[in-house]
Amino acid sequence: MSEPSESVNAKDQRKALFGILAHVLTVSRGKFDVGNATNGDRQKWARIIIAGVEAYGNLLKTVELESMEERIEKLEERRNGNPGETNQKELPSEEVKNE
């Protein structure tokens, strides 16, 4: 796993990127909706909107994957941290009763 400071820094960077992308999408949507915009201008703004949404989605996917990785690591640590406990049912011993 990475250093805690690297993880915090990456989270701060992603948070900033979410803000930037939200602003880009808001501005682009406003420019796209302008009544006197030409079709060419609307196409350009539509491309920016599409690219922004794609980047936002990829960023969300990255956050979700990292969250899942952290959860898996914690589960593995919990499982491996208790060596006396097992998830499998213990089978009864193979004792033969003499009658």
Q: Can you spell out the DSSP letters for 27-92?
A: HHHHHHT-TT--HHHHHHHHHHHHHHHHHHHHHHHHHHHHHHHHHHHHHHHHHHH-TT--SSPPPP
Render pLDDT for 48-58 as a digit per residue (tens, 0 to 9): 999 999 999 99
**pLDDT digit string, tens, across residues 24-61:** 999 999 999 998 989 999 999 999 999 999 999 999 99
d(CA 23, CA 90): 58
Lookup result for tokens 């009544």: 35
